[in-house]
């Protein structure tokens, strides 16, 4: 078996703010093989973005990361600043949601795409950086003239394309896309998803895609991991997980989308009632028990570990 590009073992992330310790991610283990695609799903506050940001150590200083994260053979948590700088953009790059906030408002987008190439020395000089910027803009469907635009002069979809071009600038092996389509309308969302799919094939990228939208992940990723209360509660091949969820939380997520052609389901989708727990005050036993329609007394005894739920499938529920 070849070594995975990304391997995470027992990764926990705890924020130590003024309100005390908040465990945002708890003992997560996952592997992502080279050229593979993994979708991380779950509601807001379940730890997806915190987990993704821990891979390139992009978390705020009050976050403590434990466990092991190996990216392209390097132990990320023990990298020194120079090694970390080299790993960012080249081993892994990230596309954030909300491109308007992720881009510098007082610099042209062309300059911002060229900057990582010049800093990392992937191009010999400014002229080559400009050429490559135009090439990247073309690849994400933007005309060369857009290089001279400032972020506020572009539409939401164009800004998201700029972020993707920027992430590809140093030809990373791993592309982390954190809710890249959430702020976009449906048409633009479909275009950006198609673009990511094409780029993945062209550049042989490994993709880690994060969103609360299971249907988007099923389209974009071969494998799926569902997070709840900071832990993975189900994982497996996307179509199988989406088509036949084993964990009650995944069932709720899958059912929480309106049915096309049924306007009543738009206003009241079946699926999940209530909210996810606050990371600092998790319920006793299975953290999903207050919202779970199948909960019994036995669910209060201990938090279930992941169990085999089929070929290449696992789920953390006592009913599995
Ligand atoms: Fe529901 Fe119990 Fe399974 Fe948790 S362990 S998901 S509460 S049935």
| Residues contacting residue 207 through CB under 8 Å, at least 6 positions apart | 36, 37, 38, 174, 175, 177, 196, 200, 220, 221
Q: Which residues line ligand 1 (CB under 6 A)?
A: 247-248, 286, 288-289, 292, 294-295, 299, 304, 317-319
Task: Report whether pLDDT(225) > 90.
Answer: yes
Q: Per residue in 31-47, pLDDT tens? A: 999 999 999 999 888 99
pTM, two decimal places:
0.88
Phi, psi of 90, deg, nearest 5: -100, -50
Q: pLDDT band at 189, cuts 50/70/90?
A: confident
User: Ligand 1, closest atom to CA 233?
Assistant: 6
Give the integer Cα–Cα distance in Å for 206 and 216. Answer: 17
What is the pLDDT, as a whole number, of residue 197?
A: 84
For residue 61, give the DSSP letter. Answer: T
Report strand pairing: 307-310 vs 223-228. unpaired
| Residues contacting residue 312 through CB under 8 Å, at least 6 positions apart | 236, 237
| Mean pLDDT in residue range 190-202 | 82
Coil, strand or helix at 257? coil
Helix or strand run (H / E) with residue 50: helix 48-55
CA–centroid distance, residue 210 to ligand 1 (Å)? 24
Q: Whose CA is nearest to atom 3 of ligand 1?
A: 317
What is the pLDDT, as a whole number, of residue 264?
A: 56
Report strand pairing: 206-210 vs 6-17. unpaired
Q: Per residue in 137-158, pLDDT tens? A: 988 888 999 999 999 999 888 8
123, HSE (Cβ side, Cα atoms, 13 Å): 19
User: Ligand 1, closest atom to CA 248?
Assistant: 6
Task: Report whether pLDDT(254) > 90.
Answer: no
For a substitution probing ligand 1, which of 251, 284, 294 has the most ligand atoms within 8 Å of its CB? 294
What is the pLDDT, as a whole number, of residue 129?
A: 94
Task: Report whether pLDDT(250) > 60.
Answer: yes
Q: Per residue in 81-130, pLDDT tens? A: 989 988 898 899 998 877 777 899 999 999 999 999 999 888 999 999 99
The larger pLDDT score, comparing residue 292 to residue 220, is at 292
User: Ligand 1, closest atom to CA 293?
Assistant: 1
Q: Whose CA is nearest to atom 5 of ligand 1?
A: 317
Q: How far, CA to CA in Å, does 175 sit from each of 16, 44, 247, 294, 302?
A: 28, 21, 28, 37, 36
Q: pLDDT band at 218, cuts 50/70/90?
A: confident
| Mean pLDDT in residue range 184-197 | 76
For residue 197, give the DSSP letter. Answer: H
């Amino acid at each position: 078996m070849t070594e995975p590009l990304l391997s995470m073992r027992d990764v926990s992330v705890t924020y130590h703010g003024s309100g005390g310790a908040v465990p945002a991610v708890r003992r997560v283990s996952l592997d992502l093989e080279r050229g593979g695609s993994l979708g991380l799903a779950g509601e807001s506050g379940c730890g997806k973005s915190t987990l993704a940001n821990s891979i390139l150590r992009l978390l705020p200083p009050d976050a403590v990361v434990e466990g092991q994260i190996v990216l392209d053979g390097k132990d990320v948590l023990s990298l020194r600043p120079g090694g970390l700088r080299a790993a960012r953009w080249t081993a892994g790059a990230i596309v954030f949601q909300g491109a308007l906030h992720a881009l510098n408002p007082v610099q042209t987008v062309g300059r911002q795409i060229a900057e990582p190439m010049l800093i990392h020395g992937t191009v010999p000089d400014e002229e080559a950086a400009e050429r490559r910027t135009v090439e990247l803009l073309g690849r994400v469907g933007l005309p060369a003239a857009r290089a001279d635009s400032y972020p506020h002069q572009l539409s939401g979809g164009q800004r998201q394309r700029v972020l993707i071009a920027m992430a590809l600038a140093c030809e990373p092996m791993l592309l982390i896309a954190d809710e890249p389509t959430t702020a976009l309308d449906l048409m633009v969302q479909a275009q950006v998803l198609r673009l990511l799919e094409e780029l993945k094939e062209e550049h042989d990228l490994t993709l880690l895609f994060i969103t609360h939208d299971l249907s988007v992940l099923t389209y974009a990723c071969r494998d799926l991991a569902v997070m709840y209360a900071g832990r993975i509660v189900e994982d497996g091949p996307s179509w199988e997980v989406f088509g036949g969820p084993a964990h009650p939380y995944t069932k709720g997520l899958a059912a929480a989308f309106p049915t096309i052609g049924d306007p009543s389901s738009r206003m009241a989708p079946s699926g999940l009632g209530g909210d996810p727990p606050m990371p600092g005050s998790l319920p006793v036993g299975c953290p999903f028990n207050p919202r779970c329609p199948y909960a019994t007394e036995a669910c209060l005894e201990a938090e279930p570990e992941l169990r085999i739920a089929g070929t290449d499938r696992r789920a953390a529920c006592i009913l599995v």
